[in-house]
Amino acid sequence: MTTALITGATAGIGAAFARRLAADGHDLVLVARDTARLREQATELHDRHGIEAEVLSADLATEEGIGAVERRLGDPRRPVDLLVNNAGFGNKGRFLDVSMGDELRMLKVHCEAVLRLTSAACEAMRGRGRGGVVNVASVAAFVPRGTYGASKAWVVQFTQGVAKDLAGSGVRLMALCPGFVRTEFHERAGMGTGNIPGWMWLDADKLVAAAMADLARGRTISIPDPRYKALMGLVKLAPRGLLGGVSSRAGRRYGPS
């Protein structure tokens, strides 16, 4: 039986990945900060699907947390076959309204943790000749979105580059770029969502199903909804200045995880 490790596993897209992978018969390593919530989730998935669900409490904004997950990914006695780098958060406010500490914490989670965990996973997977990594980014990667969008743009570029470097190794990598997803993300960040049209909201379980299909097809970028595929096509044609103005008025509201 294969094993998947999911960061940010207790809510939103991470929880949807856990449900889908458990239903497919994968054992799980569930990573998040809330130990009690992790244990509750692990018990529920074990009882419902008969899989083994390991709990790993870790804060990926800290050196200790990243190191703990790195060590788990590199453990040769308990191989991980699929890594889902989903942990992330948003900051409320425009640039200079957010403290430098919060900005750096975001980069730690969105960039450094993704870099280090992808590296740890891929090194072990390449040695076995198989494995997969899904790095959760955002459609915010394709528009000017301040620190959040810049960090997600880095995730996309990084994932594509590593996928190219590891081509032929048996290790697949994909950047998942959702739009607005009905999760706890915006509430945790203190962001209002009343001005977001209903058609822009995605269901987390359907999103994950589309992402898994794209990973199986060998895609390195997944925008898992026709509406957002069309929207991102228009973004490519729009002047950068116009995008910047729309982005500024919208605030930092793109956030899937």
The H or E element that residue 174 is part of is strand 171-176
Per-residue b or e along 67-82, where b marks 16 or more CB atoms closer than 10 Å to that residue's CB = ebbbebbeeeeebbbb
The H or E element that residue 100 is part of is helix 100-107
Q: How many CA atoms lie within 13 A of 76 on its CB side?
A: 4
- Structure letter (DSSP) for residue 74: T
Edge-first strand order for the sheet with 221-222 is 53-57, 27-32, 3-7, 82-85, 131-136, 171-176, 221-222
Start-to-end Cα distance in the chain: 27
| Strands of 33-170, DSSP E | 53-57, 82-85, 131-136
Q: For residue 228, indicate whether it is catalytic.
A: no
Contact 123, 113 (CB under 8 A): no
Cα–Cα distances in angstroms (integers) from residue 224 to residues 4, 118, 188, in the given order: 21, 22, 24
Neighbours of 101 (CB within 10 A): 8
Determine the 3-state secondary structure of 90 from DSSP: coil
Q: Name the active-site residue from 17, 148, 185, 254.
A: 148
Active site positions, annotated: 148
